[in-house]
C-alpha cells in the first residue's frame, strides 16, 4: 500500500504515544503496555486498519497489536482507534523483520497476515511475509499452539505460502480457496479484501500451527 508522504506523520503518531509506538521504547514491553493478562493477537501489515480495529471491538477480551511499517498508512489506523475509543489495541510502526526484538518468546497467541504484499519476482521472495525467514520469527514469538491466519486474493502468493509452510513443517487446516462463497459470519473483510473481491478475485484463506 502506497500513500502520499505526510510530513506531519511522525508528529501525529508521537502525539498518540499511548497507543502507537514509532521507536524502540516499547521493545519487550507489550504485556506492560496493556497492563493485563489477556491473550495477544497481532496483525502484520495492517494497512488502513479496518480488520484490526473491527476485531478489537468484536473481542474486548483479547489484546490486539497492529504492525505496519509505513507511518503514512499508520495514521489511518490511529484515527480509527481514537475516534472509536478502542482500548484493547496497540500499534507498532515496525518492519516485521524486527518482531522478535519486540515480543518475548511465546508471548503471542495468534498472527494474522491479511493480503500481504505478493512480491511476485523470484528475487524478492524473501520479502514475502510467508517466507521461511518470517515463519521462523512467528514460531519464536507464538505460543506452542499459537496460530497463523492468512488471507490473500493472490493465487501465486497463496501457492507459495502453502509450500513454504508445509516445507517448514507447519500443520495447515481450514483451507478455503473461495472464502466469500459461504462466507463465515465472523469474517471481517479488510480494505484490500473488499477491493479485490469486488473485482471478481477469489479470496484464499488458511490457518496454520507449528
Ligand atoms: N492488511 C491490509 C488489507 O488487507 O487491507 C493491507 C494490505 S497491503 C497490500 C500490505 C501492507 O503491509 C502495507 O500497508 C505495507 O506497508 C505493509 N507491510 C508490508 N511488508 C511489511 C513488513 N515487512 N512489515 C510491516 N508492514 C509491512
Look at residue 19 in the predicted model and tell me its pLDDT: 97
Q: Which residues contact 74 (CB under 8 A, 6 or more apart)?
A: 9, 13, 20, 22, 46, 68, 91, 93
- The active-site residue, picked from 37, 117, 182, 186, is 117
How is domain 9-209 classified at the CATH fold level? Rossmann fold (3.40.50)
pLDDT of residue 6: 84
**Ligand 1 lining (C-beta closer than 6 Å):** 1, 44-47, 67-70, 73, 95-96, 114-117, 190-193
Quick one: which atom of ligand 1 is closest to the CA of 96?
A: 24
Domain ranges of the chain: 9-209
- Please answer whether residues 150 and 161 qualify as being in contact, where contact means their C-beta atoms are separated by less than 8 angstroms: yes
CA dist 99 and 93 (Å) reads: 11
Known binding positions for S-adenosyl-L-methionine: 43, 68, 95, 117
Question: Are 34 and 26 spatial neighbours (Cβ–Cβ below 8 Å)?
Answer: no
pLDDT of the chain along its 210 residues, tens only?
Answer: 667 788 899 999 999 999 999 999 999 999 999 999 999 999 999 999 999 999 999 999 999 999 999 999 999 999 999 999 999 999 999 999 999 999 999 999 999 999 999 999 999 999 999 999 999 999 999 999 999 999 999 999 999 999 999 999 999 999 999 999 999 999 999 999 999 999 999 999 999 999
Task: Give the pLDDT confidence score for residue 110 in this predicted structure.
Answer: 98
Q: Does 117 qualify as catalytic in the annotation? A: yes
Going by the annotation, the residues of the binding site are: 43, 68, 95, 117, 121, 153, 190-193
Whole-number pLDDT of residue 210: 98
ipTM topping 0.90: yes
CA 1 to centroid of ligand 1, rounded, Å: 6
Cβ neighbors of 196 (< 8 A, separation 6 or more) are 115, 153, 203
Shortest-distance atom of ligand 1 to CA 114: 1
User: Percent helix, strand, coil in the chain (nearest 5)?
Assistant: 35, 20, 40
| Cα of 46 from ligand 1 centre, angstroms | 6
Amino acid at each position: 500500500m502506497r500513500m502520499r508522504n505526510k510530513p506531519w506523520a511522525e508528529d501525529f503518531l508521537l502525539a498518540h504515544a499511548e497507543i502507537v509506538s514509532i521507536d524502540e521504547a516499547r521493545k519487550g514491553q507489550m504485556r506492560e503496555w496493556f497492563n493485563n493478562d489477556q491473550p495477544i493477537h497481532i496483525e502484520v501489515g495492517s494497512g488502513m486498519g479496518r480488520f484490526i480495529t473491527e476485531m478489537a471491538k468484536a473481542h474486548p477480551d483479547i489484546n490486539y497489536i497492529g504492525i505496519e511499517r509505513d507511518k503514512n498508512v499508520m495514521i489511518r489506523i490511529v484515527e480509527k482507534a481514537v475516534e472509536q475509543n478502542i482500548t484493547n489495541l496497540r500499534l507498532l510502526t515496525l518492519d516485521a523483520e524486527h518482531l522478535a526484538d519486540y515480543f518475548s518468546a511465546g508471548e503471542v497467541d495468534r498472527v494474522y497476515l491479511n493480503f500481504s504484499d505478493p512480491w511476485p519476482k523470484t528475487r524478492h521472495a524473501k520479502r514475502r511475509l510467508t517466507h521461511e525467514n518470517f515463519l521462523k520469527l512467528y514460531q519464536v514469538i507464538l505460543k506452542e499452539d499459537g496460530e497463523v491466519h492468512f488471507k490473500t486474493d493472490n493465487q501465486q502468493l497463496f501457492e507459495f505460502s502453502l509450500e513454504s509452510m508445509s516445507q517448514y513443517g507447519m500443520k495447515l487446516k481450514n483451507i478455503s480457496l473461495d472464502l466469500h462463497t459461504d462466507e463465515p459470519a465472523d469474517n471481517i473483510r479488510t480494505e484490500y479484501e473488499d477491493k479485490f473481491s469486488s473485482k471478481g478475485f477469489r479470496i484464499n484463506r488458511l490457518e496454520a500451527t507449528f
